[in-house]
Amino acid sequence: MKRLLVIGGSDAGISAALRAREVDPSWGVGLVVADAFPNYSICGLPFFLSGETPRWESLAHRTRTEIEGRGIELMLDTIADHIEPGEHRVWVRPTDGAERAMSYDRLVLGTGAAPALPPIRGLDTPGVYLLHTMAEGLAVHDHLTARSPKTAIIIGGGYIGLEMADALRVRGLAVTLFEAAPTVLQTVDPEFGRLVLGELERHGIAVHTSTAIQAIEGGPSGVVVHDTAGERVEADLVLVVAGVRPQADLGTRCGVHAGVRGALRVNRRMETNVSDVFAAGDCVETHHRLMSEATYIPLGTTAHKQGRVAGENAVGGYAEFQGSLGTQVVKIFELVVGRTGLREDEARRQGFSPWTFESVTWDHKAYYPGASRLRIRVTGDLRSRRLLGAQLLGQYGAEVSKRLDVFATALFHAMTVHDVAHLDLSYTPPLGSPWDPVQTACMEWALAAPASDPRKDA
């Protein structure tokens, strides 16, 4: 029996293992997982910590029994120490056992990412948490339940920082959030970042923008943070959520080439340069559909797709990763904000002549109760008129995320902005308009866009 070994039990690894079994059940599939939590939805931690999801066990995408029921051999609490690609074997070390070698015919690396460590002194102060693994999530939960903190500081205003601000506020804590940039959520335009900031403040979060933290230390009754302006703020609990970096060293130590930000380099079939070694998920570079070079966009959706491709190819099938558009969405209190494709600055770096127009429409016919305003920022190329990206912001319940997905599907097919109006989208007054806001936004872009790029032609 041929043997596929997968290292990593999160999105990429599990997807690879499941797909391999679907494509060719004659292969044996082993899955090496560093902790005891295979296939957990780390994205769900904020909702567990807010109390909205009472049981951490429900964060599992699948139970152990389900995974094993698909014919996958699970090795939990087992560290993959090093790979000997010439011998086709991996040395693994179970927490409670001796190191041993496991042979493979094909190997998939899904080693994921680790929290980025910002240049702050005292990150190891008790009461400071880097929220990334299930174990850390459970540690924060223990702190919240056993010690009933009243105040929290969050360092970092990205997706997770904002979700945690929401979560801890729902839990009743007073929350202070620090962000080094002039506004929060750097992944969308500042126009939207400021609206998100307003939503945070409306819900009582104290937000300090343009403020970096330089040191953390234990205080008389909790943790004290010092910002670069010399101010100090104290709280019972500090979360540091400053993004992630690829966890690629298992691969690079055996000769896999690394690229952008140290992520493993792979082709569209998720093959590395090392024979019979594939890689997928947050540990690899991301192929972007609209960019000419590789980038690094660690997202669960992408990890699932790449893992599926790796798993299919590893057992002799043929699949290609079709590329990311960086599609992301987040709910913060009553607001939903998302993006897909490129923003202007990103598009300009790729040689496009981008231009952005923001439209404001009702999410559905205003005469039907509950209509709310939906903001859509469309970015298109002034020369080819191709759609390059879209950002949406609206109320929870206004079908913001699936409208974003209509844009993502249009982007996948390289539509022009103008052609979006030709799509036959659904309409009923309680849910939309005869021209969906997606289309209105594109029609407004097309009417307002200059005939050529003023920057290029100047």
User: Based on CB atoms, which residue is closest to a copy of itself, 210 or 428?
Assistant: 428
Quote the least distance from Cβ 226 to a copy of itself, whole Å: 33
Is residue 61 involved in binding a copy of itself (CB under 8 A)? yes
Is residue 397 involved in binding a copy of itself (CB under 8 A)? yes
CB under 8 A: which stretch of 46-54, 172-180, 243-251, 378-386 binds a copy of itself? Answer: 46-54
Report the catalytic residues.
43
User: Based on CB atoms, which residue is closest to a copy of itself, 114 or 366?
Assistant: 366
Which residues inside 318-337 make contact with a copy of itself, applying CB under 8 A? Answer: 321-331, 336
User: Based on CB atoms, which residue is closest to a copy of itself, 159 or 355?
Assistant: 159
Which residues inside 278-317 make contact with a copy of itself, applying CB under 8 A? Answer: 289, 299-305, 308
CB 163 within 8 A of CB 45: no
Quote the least distance from Cβ 411 to a copy of itself, whole Å: 8
Record the tokens describing residue 452, joined without a space.
Answer: 């050529």
User: Based on CB atoms, which residue is closest to a copy of itself, 104 or 407?
Assistant: 407
Quote the least distance from Cβ 151 to a copy of itself, whole Å: 26
Is residue 450 involved in binding a copy of itself (CB under 8 A)? no
How many residues form the binding site for a copy of itself (CB under 8 A)? 74
User: Based on CB atoms, which residue is closest to a copy of itself, 207 or 415?
Assistant: 415
Is residue 346 involved in binding a copy of itself (CB under 8 A)? no
Quote the least distance from Cβ 262 to a copy of itself, whole Å: 23
Rule CB under 8 A: choose which of 1, 98, 447, 458 binds a copy of itself.
447
The rounded distance, in Å, linking the Cα atoms of 220 and 266 is: 50
CB under 8 A: which stretch of 64-72, 78-86, 246-254, 398-406 binds a copy of itself? Answer: 398-406
Which residues inside 233-272 make contact with a copy of itself, applying CB under 8 A? Answer: none
User: Based on CB atoms, which residue is closest to a copy of itself, 215 or 366?
Assistant: 366
Is residue 369 involved in binding a copy of itself (CB under 8 A)? yes
From residue 405, give the alpha-carbon distance in Å to each of 10, 327, 341, 410, 413: 24, 8, 11, 8, 12
Rule CB under 8 A: choose which of 13, 44, 137, 193 binds a copy of itself.
44
Taking Cα atoms as reference points, which of 274, 245, 275 lies closest to residue 260? 245
Which residues inside 401-420 make contact with a copy of itself, applying CB under 8 A? Answer: 401-406, 408-410, 412-413, 419
Q: What is the largest CA-CA distance in the chain?
A: 70
User: Based on CB atoms, which residue is closest to a copy of itself, 298 or 338?
Assistant: 338
Is residue 9 involved in binding a copy of itself (CB under 8 A)? no
Quote the least distance from Cβ 220 to a copy of itself, whole Å: 37
